[in-house]
Amino acid sequence: MIVEFSVKNFRSFSDLQTISFVATSLKSSKDNQFVDLNNVVVNNGMRLLKTIGVYGANASGKSNIVHALEFFCRAVKDLPSPESRLSKLAQPFLYNENSLNEDSFFQIVLIVEGKNTDMGLQLRKM
């Protein structure tokens, strides 16, 4: 189960941005308790959301967080090769010259078989 996902220097994200699946302490009203029952799960002592919503203005990066997660998953599942294909896929933040010389950063925190696990990836466009 995903706890959080972070990304930095990728597409429209210059600074570190984190999307969290940790539920707040807020509870739905009695008339809407089914929302909590269907969407909040307790795993490893944490209240986590099964689904989340991402909203914001047009061109504010909503799609890019999905692209970042997709990129990270693809990078992790690809078989290793003598020639790295990852740097060719890197898409750093383009509106700052320094970003081209900085690493892109991706990290996911998961609960796997009851244990917190985090995986990260840093890469630079070549």
pLDDT digits 0-9 by tens, 71-85: 888 888 876 665 566
Count of domains observed in the chain: 1
Q: Is the pTM of this model over 0.75?
A: yes
Q: Which has more pLDDT, 109 or 90?
A: 109
3-state secondary structure the chain: CEEEEEEECECCECCCEEEECECCCCCCCHHHHHHHHHHEEEECCEEEECCCCCCCCCCCCHHHHHHHHHHHHHHHHCCCCCCCCHHHHCCCCCCCHHHHHCCEEEEEEEEECCEEEEEEEEECCC
Chain segment 16-70, per-residue pLDDT in tens: 999 999 999 888 888 988 888 889 999 888 999 999 989 999 988 899 999 999 9
The structure tokens listed for 36 are: 């909590």
Which SS3 state, helix, strand or coil, does residue 45 take? coil
Statement: residue 92 has pLDDT above 90? no
Query: Which position has the token pair 């959080």?
Result: 4
Question: Could you tell me the CATH number of the domain that includes residue 87?
Answer: 3.40.50
Q: Supply the range of the domain harboring residue 13.
A: 2-123
31 vs 100, residue with greater confidence:
31
* pLDDT given for residue 79 in this prediction: 64
Task: Please provide the average confidence, as pLDDT, over all residues in the chain.
Answer: 85
The percent of residues in the chain predicted with pLDDT above 70, rounded, is 85
The whole-number average pLDDT for the span 113-124 is 88
